């Protein structure tokens, strides 16, 4: 568990009752969930064939990102962060696949329905990444082996999958990195299985559920 906000911890107690499994948690989460093992940033967890490392990211609660490796392929996750500085980029660099926050379009946020205080919180360095910030991160990671990027934690009021993917893909294209696949995790839908490094077959994102196809959004 990366941090203690309710949208990330709801259901944990029920999950642990039904599935007896170890739970590793950032400070602030571990103390609130019985049986959770508090894990410090930089502490490497041996999960059998995979190692996991938490790293700190700037947010308005103690929050971690996560880096996973099996010795060959590296994946990383960073959501709920207000900026991606050099320390965060160092932890993400070299990952083959990254789940990265693209919470809002900044113009939509300022023109949207949130209160002034909430808008300032979201846009602050301890808030959430915008599409443009996610694009900067993607462009910084692309030269270091990034193959697949999943944009996550999209605001339903201040963003859209098409807006987020379009902004990031445009930045990657301008920087000459056209080999990175960009998709979005969509609220209410399970993200389909992704084979890391699978060749790009089209300019459109098509999610496949069962035997059918559902085109959820384009990326241009």
Q: pLDDT tens per residue, the chain (220 residues)?
A: 887 777 777 788 888 888 888 888 887 777 777 778 888 888 888 888 999 999 999 988 778 999 999 999 999 999 989 999 999 999 999 999 999 999 999 999 999 999 999 999 999 999 999 999 999 999 999 999 999 999 999 999 999 999 999 999 999 999 999 999 999 998 878 888 888 887 665 444 444 544 444 444 443 3
At residue 131, the 3 state secondary structure works out as: helix
- Give residue for tokens 């599935």: 19
SS3 of residue 155 by DSSP? coil
pTM of this structure: 0.86
Phi/psi at 184 (5° precision): -125, 140
Provide the token pair at 172: 């990657």
> In 3-state terms, what secondary structure has residue 146?
coil
């Amino acid at each position: 568990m990366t941090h203690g906000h309710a949208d990330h911890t709801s259901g944990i107690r029920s999950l642990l009752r039904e599935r007896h499994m170890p739970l590793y948690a950032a400070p602030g989460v571990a103390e609130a969930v019985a049986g959770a093992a508090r894990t410090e940033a930089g502490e490497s967890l041996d999960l059998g064939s995979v190692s996991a490392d938490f790293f700190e990211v700037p947010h308005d609660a103690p929050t971690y990102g996560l880096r996973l490796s099996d010795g060959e392929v590296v994946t990383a996750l960073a959501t709920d962060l207000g900026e991606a500085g050099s320390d965060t980029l160092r932890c993400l660099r070299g990952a083959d696949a990254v789940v990265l926050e693209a919470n809002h379009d900044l113009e939509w946020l300022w023109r949207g329905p949130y209160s002034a205080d909430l808008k300032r919180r979201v846009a602050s360095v301890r808030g959430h990444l915008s599409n443009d910030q996610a694009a900067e991160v993607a462009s910084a990671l692309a030269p270091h082996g990034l193959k697949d990027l999943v944009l996550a934690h999209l605001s339903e009021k201040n963003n859209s999958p098409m807006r987020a993917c379009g902004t990031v893909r445009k930045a990657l294209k301008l920087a000459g990195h056209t080999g990175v696949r960009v998709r979005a995790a969509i609220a209410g839908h399970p993200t389909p299985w992704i084979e890391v490094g699978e060749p790009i077959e089209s300019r459109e994102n098509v999610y496949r559920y069962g035997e059918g196809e559902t085109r959820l959004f384009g990326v241009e």
